[in-house]
Chains A and B, each alone.
Chain A
Amino acid sequence: MGTIVEQIQGIPLNHYLIFCSVIFAIGVIGVLIRRNVIIIMMSIELMLNSVNLLLAAFSAYHGDASGQVFVFFIMALAAAEVAVGLAIVIMVYRNTKSIDIDSLNKLRW
């Protein structure tokens, strides 16, 4: 365990911060511009996992375990959320035969 923390600390904290922010931004942009629901869900996962990585990095740097525990919460709840989300996508696919978000236009934006 000690070695892992040392390895994480071998990289400056700012690098983690910038790296995770970039991944998060890619996720946000993906949600906003992609039209395929599966890819949107992947982008959301990207956002959540960048948060996980950043939490782990902060946790290792500050020597505080609660950040890593929070990562487990995020993983568990993200899994539950995606399970429901995929069920919704399947329901939509059965009705429209498409997973393109533009095929759903019954409601005005």
Chain B
Amino acid sequence: MGAIITLSLLAILVLYLGLYNAKGALLPVTIAGLLLALGFEISLWNTDATPLYNGMVLFDHLALSFSSLCIIVTILIVLLSKEYFKAISDNVAEYYSLILFSVTGALLVCSYHNFAMLFIGIEIMSVALYILVGIRKRDLVSNEASLKYFIMGAFSTGFLLFGITLMYGATVTFDLEGLKQYVIANPQGISPLFYAGILLILVGLCFKIGAAPFHFWTPDVYEGAPILITSYMSTVVKVASFAGFLRLFSTVLVPLNDFWTPVLLTICIITLFVGNISALMQSSFKRMLAYSSIAHAGYMLFAIVSLGADSASGIFTYATAYSLASVTAFGILIIVKRKVGSEQFESFNGLAKTNPLLALLLTIAMLSLAGIPLTAGFIGKFMMFNAVMQDYHIILLVLAAINAVVGVFYYLRVVVNMYFRTQEENSKVLIPLNYQLVFFIAAALTLLIGVYPDFLIQLN
């Protein structure tokens, strides 16, 4: 709880700093506050997890590990934001403040123990993001992305709420523990309302994680938003939504897996194919990453399809690998776009000649996203495939393997562009110090997890 309170107060403090024109202090204060929140999360690690505040929140290892991941990724993204927001507008404090509010919501989604908290968390997380996506007020593309995101977000919240209501009608409680007792106590006589509730909640959550067939807003919103906000949306929001997804299914719905496994299996397969095949056909690097994030949501759903003791650590490892690689990829895209002015694959041409280091870092990130051994992405994919194999979903495994091969193809396309194509204009890009720091942290962690994954897997 300390982390959530710290971040809420920090966001207001940052607003005041902006009001009193202390622009130099914004970034250090934000990062110090995030580190403090991270400290609170870590300090709770060895305490007994009991539901707090009348069963509203629960800080077990699932909540703490996913919350910490959200905070760490936010720190990396905030580090990239130096100089970035200034180019958009004069009022920089609001961006930091909105990002912090959004992280607060993400932490609530990670640690909810009552549907009220899930709903409030999702809303806090999303409402701040609606503004951030449309932060370029004069830019029509940003406007469009913001409006689409708002309409789809509110629409999906409606489904989520209707599902919660139907579950409440069947069980007369919003508490996860109470719902679990209901499911265990009535193995035969579960109300049809409850089943309808599961389906509607599934629809609402699939909108949030961007799984097909509820993914259609994702590419547009990711493409239209400023790159830094896209990287935030595709990492922190996705990680938090998956934590919420996993908590609901692993706490309450495990006994009913005969009912929802076929549904989720179908969603999973459609997501994989839609994400990968559409990513294959993109000419814009940013849009390719948007579709690849849909595909990654499909892989992460594996752990929920074959729910077991390892699911939490599987999703956590996968999400860590994916977040680190995405932050690097989007960060490098910011630099390249600043130089070339375009987000197409061609703008990466000849990067290996002018900036060998940058090309190497992006290659590591792409290999990790593609799931090549010795990177974190491989460990994540391995754990997902392993979980599915133990549950004998052979068809899913075969289809996933085909998709993984397709994935390698489009991730390596940008590597080919960097190393084997040339560009006339050969000026070196200067990489600011903060970008270098973030890229090195992300690359080092990617390789470290890839070589020695045990410390991460044992967390959950």
Within 8 A of A (CB), among B98-138: 115-116, 119-120, 123, 127, 130-131, 134, 137-138
Chain B positions within 8 Å of A, measured between CB atoms, are 115-116, 119-120, 123, 127, 130-131, 134, 137-138, 140-141, 143-148, 150-151, 154-155, 157-158, 161-162, 164-166, 168-169, 172-174, 193, 216, 219-220, 223-224
Known: A24-B158, A37-B147, A55-B165. A80 touches B127 (CB 8 A): yes
Q: How large is the interface on A (under 10, 10 to 19, 20 to 34, 35 or more residues)?
A: 35 or more
Secondary structure dominating the interface of B:
helix
A40 to B143, CA, bound (A): 17
When distances are taken between beta carbons in the complex, the residues of chain A under 8 Å from B172 are 58, 62, 64
Bound-state CA distance A43–B224 (Å) is 25
User: Which residues of chain A (35-55) have a CB below 8 Å from chain B?
Assistant: 37, 40-41, 44, 47-48, 50-51, 54-55
Q: How far, in angstroms, from A19 to B138 measured CA to CA in the complex?
A: 43
B390 to chain A, nearest CB (A): 38
Point out the residues of chain B lying under 8 angstroms from A104, CB to CB.
Answer: 140, 143-144, 147-148
**A88–B134 touching, CB < 8 Å:** yes
A residues near B (Cβ < 8 Å) are: 17, 24, 27-28, 31, 37, 40-41, 44, 47-48, 50-51, 54-55, 58, 62, 64, 66-67, 69-70, 73-74, 77, 80-81, 84-85, 87-89, 91-92, 95-96, 101, 104-109
Q: How far is the CA of A109 from the CA of B150 in the complex (A)?
A: 16
Residues of B within 8 A of A74 (CB): 119, 161
B123–A101 contact, CB under 8 A?
A: no
Chain B nearest CB: distance from A70 CB in Å? 6
6 closest cross-chain pairs (CB), A and B: A47-B158, A104-B144, A107-B220, A58-B169, A51-B161, A62-B172
Contact indicator B140/A54 (Cβ below 8 Å): no
Shortest distance between the CB of B51 and any CB in chain A (Å): 15
- Check B158 against A66 for contact (C-beta < 8 Å): no
Question: A51-B158, A85-B130, A88-B150 known; 7 other A-B pairs, CB under 8 Å?
Answer: A17-B169, A50-B162, A91-B143, A91-B146, A96-B140, A107-B148, A109-B216
Give chain A residues whose Cβ lies under 8 Å from the Cβ of B219: 107-108
In whole angstroms, what is the CA distance A21 to B134 when docked?
Answer: 33
Query: Are the C-beta atoms of B147 and A92 separated by less than 8 Å?
Result: yes
6 contacts between A and B (CB under 8 A): A28-B155, A37-B151, A77-B127, A85-B154, A89-B147, A107-B148
Known interface pairs A31-B151, A37-B147; A107-B137 also in contact (CB < 8 Å): no
CB atoms of A44 and B151 under 8 A apart? yes
- B residues in contact with A77, CB < 8 Å: 119-120, 123, 127
Contact A73 B120 (CB under 8 A): yes
- B47 to chain A minimum Cβ distance, whole angstroms, is 27
- In chain B, what residue has the closest Cβ to A107? B220
Residue of B nearest to A108 (CB): B220
Residues in B neighbouring A51, C-beta threshold 8 A: 158, 161-162, 165
Q: Are A48 and B216 in contact (CB under 8 A)?
A: no
Chain A residues with Cβ under 8 A from B168's Cβ? 55, 58, 67, 70
B134 touches A91 (CB 8 A): yes
Name the B residues within 8 Å of A31 (CB-CB): 151, 155
A84-B150 contact given A73-B116, A108-B220, CB 8 Å threshold: yes
Contact at A40–B151, with CB atoms within 8 Å? Answer: yes
Q: Which residues of B contact A96 (CB under 8 A)?
A: 140, 143
Q: A41 to chain B: which residues have CB within 8 Å?
A: 151, 154
The residue of chain B having its C-beta at the shortest distance from the C-beta of A16 within the complex is: B169
Q: Is the CB of B220 within 8 A of A109?
A: yes
Which residues of the partner chain A approach B138 to less than 8 Å between Cβ atoms? Answer: 95
A58–chain B nearest beta-carbon distance, Å? 4
Is A48's CB under 8 angstroms from B161's CB? Answer: yes
A64 → chain B, closest Cβ, in Å? 5
B194 smallest CB distance to A (angstroms): 13
**Closest CB-CB distance, B433 to chain A, in whole Å?**
34
Cα A62 to Cα B178 with chains together (Å): 15
B220-A44 in contact (CB<8A): no
Q: Are B140 and A95 in contact (CB under 8 A)?
A: yes
A88 and B158: CB pair below 8 A?
Answer: no
Distance of A31 Cα from B161 Cα, bound (Å): 16
B119 and A106 contact, CB distance less than 8 A:
no
How long is the Cα–Cα vector from A69 to B168 in the complex, in angstroms? 13
Write the chain A residue with the least CB distance to B160: A51
Let me know if B147 and A73 touch, CB within 8 A: no
CA distance A69 to B165 in the complex (A): 12
